[in-house]
Amino acid sequence: MANQRAESAPADASSRKKGELAKLESDPIYHAVMRLLTWPILLLAAGCSLLDPHNMIGRQMGEATGIPTDPIPAAGKRPLDAAARTHAFDFVWNTINERYHDPAFNGVDWNAVGTRYRPLALAAPTDEAFWNVLDRMTGELKDAHTRVESPARVELRQRDESITLGFGFLPLEGRLAITSVHNESDAWWAGVRPGMTLVAIAGEPAGPAYQKLLAETRYDSTDRSRHMRALRTLLTGPEGSSLAFTFERADGSRFDATLTRRRLSTRPAAAHRVLPSGFGYLRLTQWTLGATSRALEGLEALKDTPGLVFDLRGNPGGAVHAVNSLLSRFFAERVDLGRVTTRTGRPVSVLFGTVEIIKLRSEVAGSKSAYTKPVVILLNAGSASGSELFAGEMQAANRAVVVGEPSCGCLLGFLGYTRIPGGGELAYSEVGFVLANGQKIEGQGVMPNHLVPLTVADLRASRDRALETAQQVLSVLVAGKPRG
């Protein structure tokens, strides 16, 4: 995981509304709809599979196709009864059955999965446990993008917040090594720092406790993404709840700390600077339209640098339109970057196919103002989805060298969350990606040209060896020497 950084406090309601409006006004789906439809037709299209086969308009309006008209209790009002749970279960299973991008369900017997999970869901002891069972059911597809979020998680996501203990760790060199610490978390103020190791979790030896947690975590696209999901399960929870740990320092001394989960901002950010080496450095934490717009401004400011390091470590992805907007600024001429796959073999479109939201061919037209100098992209296991699409397409086109660690291996596309009866939300993969060289990233990851594994020693020394390597690679490329 990339080191977490301090972020500004969440915006007030007025600022948040302005930000949401700005994102909506820059969304190409929104403009396609508003340009071609009046409101009465828009309302009709939201419920018409011929006009809107992927329910794109309905999801833009916050409505889900096929929600029963029976009254369903709002989240937090009262527990879901058996009928409400049945509605929610059937909605999730049927939506995936009818709309999942792969009609073979990645080789999974989806009927058998439904039969096995239905009684587990209906018998779940709490509503949160019920939503967790639905999520585990979608996990049988081994697809990080197909998931169910409970109403509580939906609320946090919409606020760009996380209730967390505020640190991360990875299995490294036979230990659970701390890789990141948020400096507004209890962990930071307790003295936890990258390079320390976990000795105990809630009084249990850390190694076995982690293995038990991992075994109870739903399947995912790769072992790397499953670890990150297990980590979220351990670190997140109700605000104010606590968990006890024992940490070990580099000198072998140990200390105990009971850490409290706190609400921390996860707002996407972009930053840029000229490194002391003279190379440009661009960092993007998530592919939202707003953050990507700031990244584009940063790229313009770095246009005269002889080479660029683009840091996508820990970037979990985001909007494909944001990815494409930045891709277009790295090619001076038109380039074919690959293709998109869908269940029907047709583009994602509305209005009887007259407005294509996602085309089958992935290409950029080229830009006269493109940054054409050497580029190195930094990746790690936390680089997922849109970050993998960007890095994979740049690498396949021989436009960038990738340095760091293999990425998440989580590259499928969903077209927006769908509201589930009862208050949860469902994401399901509707789009696949194939690079220009025929490679698929899902389940594998983007493989670096220069592998730079994370080590405990580097964490303890606060040494960013991947960034060092990136600049060395750029020096070779700028000098015109063959790539090593």
Out of 230, 265, 300, pick the residue that ends a domain.
265
Place of tokens 């590259």: 411
Does residue 276 form part of some domain?
yes
Asked if the structure places residue 22 within a domain, the reply is no
Find the domain containing 224 and state its range: 161-265
Helices (H), 317-385: 320-327
pLDDT value at residue 57: 52
Does residue 212 lie within any of the structural domains?
yes
Residue type (1 letter), 161? E
- Give the domain-ending residue among 265, 282, 302: 265
Counted domains in the chain: 2
Give phi and psi for 249, each to the nearest 5.
-85, 175
Given a contact cutoff of 8 angstroms between Cβ atoms, the answer to whether 190 and 257 are in contact is: yes
Asked if residue 245 and residue 383 are part of one domain, the reply reads no
**Listed residues 212, 247, 265: the one ending a domain:** 265
Instruction: Tell me the C-alpha distance between 460 and 195, whole Å.
Output: 4
- The CATH number assigned to the domain holding 218 equals 2.30.42.10
282 domain-assigned: yes
Residue 297 lies in a domain: yes
Tell me how far apart the alpha carbons of residues 57 and 55 are, in angstroms, rounded to a whole number. Answer: 6
* CA atoms of 82 and 77, how far apart (whole Å): 16
In a domain, 74, yes or no: no
CA distance 93 to 426: 10
Residue 187 has what pLDDT? 97
**Amino acid identity, position 400:** A
Taking the complete model, does pTM exceed 0.75, yes or no?
yes
Are residues 342 and 429 located together in one domain of the fold?
yes
Which CATH number goes with the domain that contains 447? 3.90.226.10
Predicted pLDDT of residue 446: 98
- Residue 295's SS3 state is helix
Residues 170 and 282 in one domain: no
Cβ neighbours of 29 (radius 10 Å): 21
Give the full edge-to-edge strand order of the sheet including 361-364: 361-364, 335-341, 431-435, 412-413
- Local mean pLDDT, 10-residue blocks, the chain (484 residues): 32 41 46 44 46 54 37 57 96 96 96 98 96 97 96 82 92 97 95 98 97 96 96 93 97 98 90 98 96 97 98 94 93 93 81 67 88 98 96 97 98 90 94 93 97 97 98 95 50
Measured distance CA(172)–CA(453) in Å, rounded = 10
Residue 145 lies in a domain: no
Q: Give the pairing of strands 204-205 and 197-201.
A: antiparallel
228 and 375 share one domain: no
Contact criterion met (CB below 8 Å) for 171 and 210: yes
Residues 372, 397, single domain; the answer is yes
**Same domain, residue pair 257 and 307:** no
Longest dimension (CA), the chain: 69
Statement to judge: residues 222 and 307 lie in one domain:
no
Is the same domain home to 202 and 321?
no
Lookup result for tokens 């190694």: 207
Task: Flag whether 133 is in a domain.
Answer: no
Q: Are residues 330 and 452 in the same domain?
A: yes
Q: How far apart are CA 313 and CA 362, in angstroms?
A: 24
Residue 366 sits in the same domain as residue 325: yes
Give yes or no: residues 169 and 285 share one domain. Answer: no
* Res 484: pLDDT: 42
CA distance 426 to 96: 9
Whether 335 and 213 map to the same domain: the answer is: no
- Exposure class string for 295-327: b at 16+ Cβ within 10 A, else e: bbebbeebeebebbbbbbbbbbbbbbbbbbbbb
